[in-house]
Amino acid sequence: MSLDPYKLNLAGKVKFVKKRIIKARIVVVLEGTIENREIQLIHPASRCVRKGEIFELLTTPEKVKPGDIINTVTYLGFAEVEIGGVLRVGDIVFSGKKKVGSVVGFDETHFPNHQNIVLKSLDESSISHVFKLEEEIIFKQD
């Protein structure tokens, strides 16, 4: 069995020089915040997303990193991947020209049904950002 490079702090030695923009479209709009949710972020700082795959977007005001537990989460929606690729902690999420947040980690509570992508709120307006159905969002390397 291979050793996990994330748990051994080896993955940081591999740099993402360039990567494509990932595009997705909102298929469900969610609203609501839950306190004491205790979401456990996984240790890997990147995840692949494939065309046609659906993921859930959450945001948190907490300062967290992969492996941490998040207590406060706001539910933003579900999105379907139109152009797949690799998501990574630090990627910025845009809705049009508006920055919604930056990726802080991934949660696999509901996997293989779907994966949660957790964003750090960039400001107070992005904590309560409400998507529109069929709205395009993009993930760009910071």
Q: What is the pLDDT of residues 10-44, one digit of tens each?
A: 666 778 889 999 999 999 999 999 999 999 999 99
pLDDT higher than 80, residue 122:
no
Instruction: Give the pLDDT confidence score for residue 114 in this predicted structure.
Output: 92
Dist. CA 96–CA 82, nearest whole Å: 15
pLDDT digits 0-9 by tens, 41-94: 999 999 999 999 999 999 999 999 999 999 999 999 999 999 999 999 999 999
Alpha helices, H only, the chain: 124-127
CA neighbours within 13 Å on the CB side: how many for 59? Answer: 25
Instruction: Give the pLDDT confidence score for residue 128 in this predicted structure.
Output: 55
Q: What are residue 116's DSSP bridge partners?
A: 56, 107
**Nearest residue to 102 via CA among 88, 116, 83:** 88
| Domain spans, the chain | 19-140
Instruction: Give the pLDDT confidence score for residue 127 in this predicted structure.
Output: 54
- Confidence band (pLDDT; 50, 70, 90) for 138? very high
- Confidence band (pLDDT; 50, 70, 90) for 125? low
